[in-house]
Amino acid sequence: MGELVDKTKGKIKQAVGDLTGDKELNREGKRDELKGQVEGAVADVKDAVKDVAKDVKQSIKTAVK
CA distances in angstroms from 16 to 9, 21, 29, 63, 64, listed in the order given: 11, 8, 9, 58, 60
**pLDDT value at position 43?**
95
| Ranges under pLDDT 70 in the chain | none
d(CA 28, CA 15): 11
| b/e per residue 21-45 (b: at least 16 CB within 10 A) | eeeebbebbeebbebbeebeeeeee
d(CA 53, CA 50): 5
**pLDDT value at position 37?**
96
**pLDDT value at position 61?**
84
**pLDDT value at position 53?**
95
**Mean predicted lDDT score pLDDT of the chain:** 94
**pLDDT value at position 33?**
97
